[in-house]
């Protein structure tokens, strides 16, 4: 080898070694791309407080990694880029995110925006050929939910809903016990879901963005929980609404709804959804041989529970970390979960919520189609 060639070769090697040694200094974005192989690469749409909770939880994921951002706020994007090491080429706004179609760093988009935006954003993500993870409620009514399910099927992408309780250990143990017959014939379920909401100007109290009020945001936990706890689909509902503050809770924004559901076996449910009372996060399941009680039942944890057999004793794991890893398994490996997280599950809840609102308006028993 000539001296000049040898010097060029050594210089090249040295430069390569220097580049590799400096990789971490460029932020986690480059590392994300390097470790992204075999993992679900996720862009988060909507960078609010819950999105940040999800992103922080994903730092501990084994199969999911944050690789992209979609937001209407350039300031938030810059902050998130600094915190999570996301490169400029993986950042989009609400006007241009259709361009993710040609971005191999993004496999799925987690939509964490106001409810009324979910349908159109889901349709756009599906048309871009990316899998969709949508926060609950998946839409503002069943008709929109059906459009979302159909669009994702047509595009050949998966649609998953952010039902983190479907993969929570104590919840799954209650389901296992119910399936084993430990509770006997299920006869009754109670679900209490509520908190006292604050800022009256927030989007959750704006019908055009939220699609409703407490039922959409917190009551859906009792709707969904009744289904996986009882193990059946309700066939009818009755519901009554009360409102103590018509200024804060304008027409179409429910403050408190008490609702009842009936199941094919004869089991019944009695539930409360409210934005006007704290310390309401409880599930109770009764069978002719035993019971299960969980309080808190759906909060961020730890979930606390017991049955007639004793305390439910499982170590707490961050729900969003477990959820994102399980979702990665579903999307990448077609894993079948004990309680599905798919769009059809979300659609079932929307049909029930539609019936609850119909019953509030009619004052009658409404059947679920």
Assessment of whether the complete model's pTM goes beyond 0.85 = yes
Q: Given strand 366-367, what is the order of strands in its sheet?
A: 310-311, 305-307, 291-294, 280-287, 186-194, 268-274, 256-262, 236-242, 366-367
What are all long-range contacts of 4-9, with beta carbons under 8 Å and residues at least 24 apart?
A: none
**In three state form, how does the secondary structure of 217-273 look?**
HHHHHHHHHHHHHHCCCCCEEEEEEECCCCCCCCCCCCCEEEEEEECCCCCEEEEEE
For the segment 221-238, the average pLDDT, to the nearest whole number, is: 98
Res 33 pLDDT > 80: no
From the list 140, 136, 360, the residue with the least C-alpha distance to 256 is 360
CB contact at 8 A, 31 and 24: yes
Q: Which helix (H) or strand (E) holds 293?
A: strand 291-294
**Residue 368, Cα to own-chain centre: how many angstroms?**
24
Q: Spell out the domains of the chain, with CATH numbers in brackets.
A: 3-163 (3.40.50.720), 165-319+337-367 (3.30.360.10)
pLDDT in the model for residue 293: 98
Residue entry with tokens 């409210």: 274
Residue 322, phi then psi, degrees to nearest 5: -60, -45
* Cα separation values, 205 from 83, 120, 147, 278, Å: 31, 21, 25, 17
Pick the closest to residue 216 from 83, 346, 308, 71 (CA basis).
Answer: 346
- Reported as half-sphere exposure (CB side, CA atoms, 13 A), residue 286 has a value of 10
What confidence tens digit (pLDDT) does each residue in 170-179 have? 999 999 999 9
Q: What is the pLDDT of residue 31?
A: 46
Structure tokens at 267: 């089991």
Tens of pLDDT along 46-79?
999 999 999 999 999 999 999 999 999 999 999 9
DSSP state at residue 109: E
The whole-number pLDDT of residue 36 equals 66
How far is Cα 29 from Cα 90, in angstroms, rounded to an integer? 9
Ordered alpha helix ranges (H), the chain: 3-22, 28-35, 49-58, 74-84, 118-127, 142-155, 169-180, 207-210, 214, 220-230, 319-333, 343-362
Local confidence band at 37 (pLDDT 50, 70, 90 cut-offs): confident
Flag whether pLDDT at 161 surpasses 60.
yes
Mean pLDDT across the stretch 151-160?
98
Question: For residue range 91-140, what is the model confidence (pLDDT) as tens digits?
Answer: 999 999 999 999 999 999 999 999 999 999 999 999 999 999 999 999 99
Around 319, how many Cα atoms within 13 Å sit in the side-chain half-sphere?
19
Identify whether the C-beta of residue 319 lies closer than 8 Å to the C-beta of residue 300.
yes
Are 356 and 215 spatial neighbours (Cβ–Cβ below 8 Å)? Answer: yes
Q: How many CB atoms lie within 10 A of CB 350?
A: 25
**Interatomic CA distance for residues 142 and 125, integer angstroms:** 19
pLDDT in tens, 173-203: 999 999 999 999 999 999 999 999 999 999 9
Tell me which residues are annotated as active site: 136, 221
As a whole number of angstroms, the distance between CA 133 and CA 163 comes to 10
């Amino acid at each position: 080898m000539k001296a000049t060639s040898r010097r060029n070769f050594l210089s090249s090697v040295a430069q390569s070694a220097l580049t590799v040694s400096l990789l971490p200094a460029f932020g986690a974005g480059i590392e994300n791309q390097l470790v992204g192989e075999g993992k679900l690469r996720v862009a988060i749409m909507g960078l609010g407080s819950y999105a940040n909770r999800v992103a922080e939880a994903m730092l501990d994921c084994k199969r999911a990694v944050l690789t992209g951002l979609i937001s209407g706020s350039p300031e938030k994007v810059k902050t998130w880029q600094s915190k999570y090491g996301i490169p400029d080429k993986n950042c989009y706004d609400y006007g241009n995110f259709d361009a993710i179609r040609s971005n191999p760093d993004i496999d799925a988009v987690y939509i964490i925006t106001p409810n009324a935006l979910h349908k159109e954003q889901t349709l756009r993500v599906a048309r871009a050929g990316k899998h969709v993870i949508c926060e609950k409620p998946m839409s503002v009514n069943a008709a929109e939910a059906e459009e979302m399910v159909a669009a994702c099927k047509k595009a050949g992408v998966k649609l998953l809903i952010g039902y983190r309780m479907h993969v929570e250990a104590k919840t799954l143990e209650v389901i296992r016990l119910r399936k084993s017959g430990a509770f006997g014939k299920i006869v009754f379920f109670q679900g209490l879901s509520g908190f006292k909401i604050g800022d009256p100007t927030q989007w959750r109290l704006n019908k055009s963005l939220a699609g409703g009020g407490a039922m959409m945001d917190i009551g859906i936990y009792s709707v969904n929980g009744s289904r996986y706890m009882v193990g059946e689909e309700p066939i009818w509902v009755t519901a009554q609404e009360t409102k103590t503050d018509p200024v804060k809770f304008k027409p179409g924004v429910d403050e408190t709804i008490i609702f009842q559901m009936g199941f094919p076996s004869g089991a019944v449910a009695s539930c409360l959804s409210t934005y006007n009372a704290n310390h309401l996060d409880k599930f109770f399941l009764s069978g002719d041989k035993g019971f299960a009680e969980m309080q808190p039942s759906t909060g961020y944890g730890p979930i606390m529970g017991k049955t007639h057999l004793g305390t439910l004793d499982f170590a707490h794991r961050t729900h969003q970390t477990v959820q994102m890893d399980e979702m990665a398994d579903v999307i990448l490996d077609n894993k079948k979960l004990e309680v599905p997280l798919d769009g059809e599950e979300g659609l079932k809840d929307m049909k029930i919520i539609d019936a609850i609102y119909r019953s509030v308006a009619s004052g009658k028993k409404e059947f679920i189609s």
